[in-house]
Amino acid sequence: MATSLIPDPFQMWREALTKLEGNANSIVTGSMDSQELMRSMHQLSALSLNMQQAFEKAIGGYLARVNLPSRKEVSELAAALQRVEDKLDRLLPDGAGPAAPRPPRTRRPPPEGAAPPAVEAGTPTPAKPARRTKSAASRGRRRS
Amino acid sequence: MAEAATKEKKEKPPEPVLAERLRLEVERAVQRSLKGVELFAAPPPTVGRTAKTVLHRRGTLSLYHYHATADEIYRVPLLFVMAPTNKAYILDLAPGQSLMEFLLARGYDVYMMDWDAPSDAERDLKIDDYVLDFIPDCLRRVQQDSGEHDVTLIGYCAGGMLSAIHVALLPDGPAKNLVCFTTPVDFSKMELFRSMADAKVFDVDKLVESVGIVPADLVRAGFDSLRPASRIAGQLRLWDNLWNDEFVKGFRMMERWGNETLPLPGGYFRQTVKELLRGNALFQGTLKIGGRKVELGNIKVPFLHVIAQYDHIVPPECAHPLVERVGSRDKEEVVLPGGHVSIAAGANAVKRMWPKLDSWLQGRST
């Protein structure tokens, strides 16, 4: 798009969001040095876990009383059945005939100076290491 | 004067950029409304579509063999070791965005150690079990299935750490090459995780004894707390880009992967917190696995470490010491622009990391 003297409010909003995200992340992670904050966070998560456990225990007790399996038990049973099926698949002969022969393990690397590999998602450029020394670590960070 | 200004105004056509921009934004706003409704009803995105066979399942472990697509393959098979916190399909998101598909097309024979949620019976699994049981078991199965003695081990994040510990403890094993992606070694540089794991604020024994298996929500919250605003910002970006099908598809696949973070065996979690995060035992050389001290200098096989320059989970300074410590003569560290995940999956990985990995493996896979 051509450049304009009129600012693009949508682009400004996007840039502001990125900046706000970066700032909020820095502020919150910066405050994680505080032991009080970390202690509170752990207490909160412990409380939530205990409540969850108590709830699951109560539901589990109720299901056992009415002779019904819990979701977890059904999932475990399904996983066990899947394992049996996988093993049977490997043991029983394939109905479609003998397994396809595997390709020979004779591949050699392309000669030096050959064209770089073609990637389906686009033509790749050769890898460009940003740095191969420790100093790369001291650079600024950005989003992954 | 006013007349002149009116004349000038008449002569100058309305700015096309603004009109075009407004038209585009209106169009996008309409698309957002329509596609936003579709998004609510859409099933989870399909991932991990590259053809594969389950070679073995045991509790939390699954070993896959991807079906070769090349007419001729390299002699040495590749065995990937995924981090126990996450599903391996991050390396096989979709056609064209799959490292597995790329490596198969480049003539490699690829196997993958993937993880499922551990069962209650696996609550006491430790790093020892991953390093001295799961990895050797899979190596044996890969040898048996491929008919080759040599295997290249490739570990991602904690999977790289498990692989490196395995090779350090069993240097005469079948691992012919070792490749690590974003693998932590110096845990003193993981400052936020260390703050969270501080013994003064966090009783890991109490947690593990009460839950047995550390819930996925807790593991995910740990990762999220490194960038607490990013989840909300991500949702806002999703709304902004709802008109863009490619963006939405990519976002949903990554979101699904993040949401499917795995629970961890209590034993593994306790060891990670106490020995690695608090004691920094791997870096200090005091880590004992199976009663034996882990000395990274015992690693003598060709070694490649790919580090992400903007990694917020494993910062480069946390990963650098690995290449310094390993005893291999043939060793290389590459720092590529990208984050912890984008280094291995995504558009940048396609351009940078995958070709680098291929070029490094080629000569070492015959």
Q: Which residue among B16, B97, B362 sits closest to A109, beta carbon to beta carbon?
A: B362
Q: How is residue B96 written in tokens?
A: 């064209």
C-alpha B13/C-alpha B10 separation (Å) is 7
Establish whether this prediction's ipTM goes over 0.90: no
pLDDT at B13: 55
Q: pTM for this structure?
A: 0.82
Please tell me the least confidently modeled range out of A99-103, A111-115, B216-220: A111-115
Q: What angle do CA B116, B134, B68 make, to 5 degrees?
A: 75
A3 vs B154, more confident: B154
pLDDT tens-digit readout, B21-64:
788 888 888 888 777 777 777 787 888 889 999 999 898 999 99
Q: Which residue among A17, A89, A142 sits closest to B310, beta carbon to beta carbon?
A: A142
Average pLDDT across chain B, whole number: 90
C-alpha B53/C-alpha B40 separation (Å) is 33
B151-156 and B175-181 strand pairing: parallel
Mean pLDDT of B198-212: 90
Q: Does B13 touch chain A (CB under 8 A)?
A: no
C-alpha A61/C-alpha A65 separation (Å) is 6
Q: Does B238 touch chain A (CB under 8 A)?
A: no
Domain ranges of chain B: 52-362
pLDDT at B226: 83
Q: Which residue among A24, A39, A128 sits closest to B201, beta carbon to beta carbon?
A: A39
Q: Do A137 and B74 touch (CB under 8 A)?
A: no
Q: Which pLDDT band holds residue B227 (cuts at 50, 70, 90)?
A: confident
Reply yes or no on whether the pLDDT at A114 is more than 70.
Answer: no
Which CATH architecture fits B52-362? 3-Layer(aba) Sandwich (3.40)
Q: Does B107 touch chain A (CB under 8 A)?
A: yes
B213-214 and B78-81 strand pairing: unpaired
C-alpha A144/C-alpha B340 separation (Å) is 6
Amino acid sitting at position B302: P
pLDDT at B204: 93
pLDDT at B255: 86
Q: Which pLDDT band holds residue A56 (cuts at 50, 70, 90)?
A: confident
Share of chain B above pLDDT 70, in %: 96
Mean pLDDT of B210-234: 88
CA B341 to chain centre: 5
> In a mutagenesis test of the A interface, which of B12, B18, B21, B62 is the best target, namely the one with the most A β-carbons within 10 Å?
B21
Reply yes or no on whether the pLDDT at A126 is more than 50.
Answer: no
Please tell me the least confidently modeled range out of A29-33, B250-254, B296-300: A29-33
pLDDT at A36: 80
pLDDT at B158: 96
Q: Do B355 and A126 touch (CB under 8 A)?
A: yes
pLDDT at A80: 84
Which strand (E) or helix (H) includes residue B153? Answer: strand B151-156
Mean pLDDT of B183-209: 91
Mean pLDDT of A50-68: 87
Average pLDDT across chain A, whole number: 73
C-alpha B231/C-alpha B240 separation (Å) is 14
Contacts of A43 in chain B (CB under 8 A): none
pLDDT at B360: 97
Q: Which residue of B has its CA nearest to A91?
A: B55
Q: Which long-range contacts (CB under 8 A, 24 or more apart) does A127-133 make?
A: A127/B334, A127/B336, A127/B352, A127/B353, A127/B355, A127/B356, A127/B359, A128/B336, A128/B352, A129/B334, A129/B335, A129/B336, A129/B356, A130/B309, A130/B335, A130/B336, A130/B337, A131/B309, A131/B335, A132/B332, A132/B333, A132/B334, A132/B335
B292-293 and B110-115 strand pairing: unpaired
Dihedrals φ, ψ of B86, to 5°?
-140, 155
B292-293 and B288-289 strand pairing: antiparallel
Which strand (E) or helix (H) includes residue A131? Answer: none
Reply yes or no on whether the pLDDT at A117 is more than 70.
Answer: no
Mean pLDDT of B113-135: 95
- Sheet arrangement for strand B110-115: B52-58, B61-66, B110-115, B78-81, B151-156, B175-181, B303-308, B331-336
Contacts of A142 in chain B (CB under 8 A): 310, 339
C-alpha B159/C-alpha B85 separation (Å) is 9
Reply yes or no on whether the pLDDT at A85 is more than 50.
Answer: yes
pLDDT at B365: 96
Closest to B215 measured CA to CA, from B121, B84, B117: B117
Let me know: does B343 contact B349? Beta carbons within 8 Å.
yes
Reply yes or no on whether the pLDDT at A58 is more than 80.
Answer: yes
Q: Which pLDDT band holds residue A94 (cuts at 50, 70, 90)?
A: low
